[in-house]
């Protein structure tokens, strides 16, 4: 089997089909030289109908997009929880170890404790 020949034949068949359905280049060129353009004008009634539909859609969106009771309740609960989220226990300082800075740093290979240059409080 010669796959290259089969593929070439299939592409030639596709090209012939395209040529059968497409207008000739000479026809397209002559239409362009004549200045034939297709201008589709939208009737004035359709323009007003489109504008009215746009205004109606905008009005409906403005009226319907209001916060629901659940949204208002959630916003109030969120505002009430802000002070609680920022609260710090007065005993947090007791949880800090004198060697906390030592635990926060990762030593490098070959580095000794003296080379780490950590200052303790």
* DSSP SS3 for 80: helix
Going from the C-alpha of 70 to that of each of 38, 74, 75, 112, the distances in angstroms are 54, 6, 9, 59
pLDDT at 40: 66
Give the residue among 89, 95, 116, 114 at the shortest CA–CA distance from 105. 116
pLDDT at 54: 93
pLDDT at 57: 92
pLDDT (tens digit, 9 = 90+) per residue, 55-101?
Answer: 999 988 887 777 777 888 888 888 888 887 787 888 877 777 777 77
Going from the C-alpha of 91 to that of each of 27, 82, 86, 94, 101, the distances in angstroms are 90, 21, 15, 5, 19
pTM of the model: 0.29
Band the pLDDT of 12: cuts 50, 70, 90: very high
């Amino acid at each position: 089997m010669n796959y290259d020949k089969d593929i070439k034949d299939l592409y030639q068949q596709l090209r012939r089909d395209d040529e059968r359905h497409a207008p000739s280049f000479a026809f397209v060129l002559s239409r362009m030289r004549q200045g034939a353009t297709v201008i589709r004008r939208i009737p004035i009634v359709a323009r007003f109908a489109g504008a009215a539909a746009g205004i109606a859609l905008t009005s409906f969106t403005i009226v319907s997009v209001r916060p629901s009771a659940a949204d208002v309740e959630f916003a109030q609960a969120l505002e009430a929880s802000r002070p609680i989220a920022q609260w710090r226990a007065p005993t947090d300082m007791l949880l800090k170890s004198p060697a906390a800075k030592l635990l926060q740093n990762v030593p490098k290979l070959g580095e000794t404790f003296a080379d780490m240059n950590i200052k303790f409080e």
